[in-house]
Amino acid sequence: MTDAYTQLVSNPFGGFVARNLGLPRPVELDRHRPGAPLIDGRVLVGAAPGGRCAAAVAAVLAEAGTAVDSRLHDEVRQALGAAAIDAGVWNPEAPGAQRWKGLVLDATGIGSSGELRELWSFFHPTIRRLERCGRLIVIGAEPGECPAPAAATAQRALEGFVRAAGKEVRNGSTAQLVRVAAGAEGRIGSTLRFLLSPRSAYVSGQLVRVGAGRDVPEVDRERPLRGKTALVTGASRGIGEAIANVLARDGADVVGLDVPALSGDLENVVEPIGGSAIAVDIAAADAPRRICDALAKRGGVDVVVHNAGVTRDKTLAAMDAERWEATIAINLTAAERINDELLARGGLLREDGRIVCVSSMSGIAGNAGQTNYSTSKAGVIGMVESMAPILAERAATINAVAPGFIETAMTAAMPLGPREAGRRMSSLAQGGLPVDVAEAIAWLAAPDSSGVNGNVVRVCGQSLIGA
């Protein structure tokens, strides 16, 4: 599904007109199809001297059966060989016609501003060779762990590179930075797979931090959530419906939740995926108890997705107390209270549990007419950041996704001007789909994402707002 403008500029005449008028020309994004390869093309892998993640990258690509190239004399060749990858060689001196679907640079070895030249050396001759809907990924180190200020400075600089590169790669491609803590190299698999694959179609310009987590279990790649129970709030429509469907596709037993007035719609979502329903207003005083009782009857829960949310827009001067209070109560306090009850009940959130919250770009950038909503969604980020260490002690994680402009009933109801601006003012020049948010949540919910904790990942096509 693409919007009418994207369809128009996808045909030769529309594309010609848009090009000549300097208008954005969004391309239809590749999205995940069951059974499709991890990435539909070759990947070029490089490493700055002293990098420590090439072996982990090689292991991911080898397992996926991806065709790989590396540069001449690149130390990464050794890692690829060890992973039994029969890699091609790419020689920038004799470049030929080679193109790639993915460009991955292990930049963990960059230790000074001078060494940032490694970014230029690797990407300058290759960035134009990135295919449609390609993936540019830089792997960096945690600046806070660097032994010297010069290394910390250079590692922090990677963020600027990736954000700018995301604005340069066109044709539906994306750019990301993955920061890997020392010793967490073996934890990057789930994140790398997500970012390389079409599942991350609408995620660009993001920083993902991968930490120690617990040992990564063997996971069935087609159904990583098999045997897991997942609660999804606000599941009767929109993004919540997509989350329920994607988590069920990944093997989860889904418990959908929505307000009693939408019970019929909720049944229509959970019934085809073999899930079950809880009809409750999450802002009700007894909601945490009722929800946790229902989960206890099912033997506990592995994944909790706090998706339910509302907007009650008015400028602050015109906003009545009811709008303020309802928005904070539903979007923020309800999730806090459910988490508290969940954690108070011992093992109700099972070992290796996952909490994933839905924040919003408005919580990062702020939005006129949404002081209540932006406050609540920034609060969600605060909740994730403050609870991450607590969850880590239980070998669990808490993260958030922050959607930008997503094509739902909510955004369809916006006036034309702001709606078109919301779509086009991003590197991908289009709105995302509910499934894009759902895929990001499925990645964070996966058992092998144990090293991803306390992150806030925007699903916004690298929106220029709040960038």
Interface with ligand NAD (CB under 6 A):
233-234, 236-240, 258-259, 262, 281-283, 307-310, 330, 358, 360, 403, 405-406, 408-411
Rounded Cα–Cα distance for residues 285 and 322 (Å): 17
Least Å from the CB of residue 39 to ligand NAD: 27
Q: Which is nearer to ligand NAD, 158 or 239 (CB)?
A: 239
Nearer to ligand NAD, 178 or 231 (CB): 231
Structure tokens at 349: 């959130």
Nearer to ligand NAD, 177 or 358 (CB): 358
Are the C-beta atoms of residues 246 and 230 closer than 8 Å to each other?
A: no
Q: Which is nearer to ligand NAD, 115 or 420 (CB)?
A: 420
373 is catalytic: yes
8 Å CB contact between 222 and 34: yes
The owner of tokens 């020689």 is 91
**Shortest Cβ distance from residue 437 to ligand NAD (Å)?**
7
CB of 425 to ligand NAD, least distance (A): 13
Token reading at 127: 């960035």
The answer to whether the CB of 110 falls within 8 A of the CB of 116 is yes
Residue 179's DSSP bridge partners are 140, 209
Helix/strand/coil (H, E, C) string of 332-359?
HHHHHHHHHHHHHCHHHEEEEEEEEEEC
Q: Provide, rounded to whole angstroms, the least separation between the CB of residue 358 and ligand NAD.
A: 4
| Options 373, 376, 438, 451, the catalytic residue | 373
CA distance 429 to 152: 33
Q: Are 235 and 187 within 8 A, CB to CB? A: no
Cα gap 298→50, rounded to integer Å: 49
Shortest approach of ligand NAD to residue 349 CB, angstroms? 19
Report in angstroms how near the CB of residue 331 gets to ligand NAD at its nearest: 6
Looking at beta carbons only, is 162 or 277 nearer to ligand NAD?
Answer: 277
DSSP state of 285: T
CA distance 12 to 393: 56
Any idea which residue has 């994207």 for tokens?
6
Name the residue with tokens 């039994």. Answer: 84
* Residue with Cβ nearer ligand NAD (262 or 465): 262
The residues annotated with a catalytic role in the active site are 373
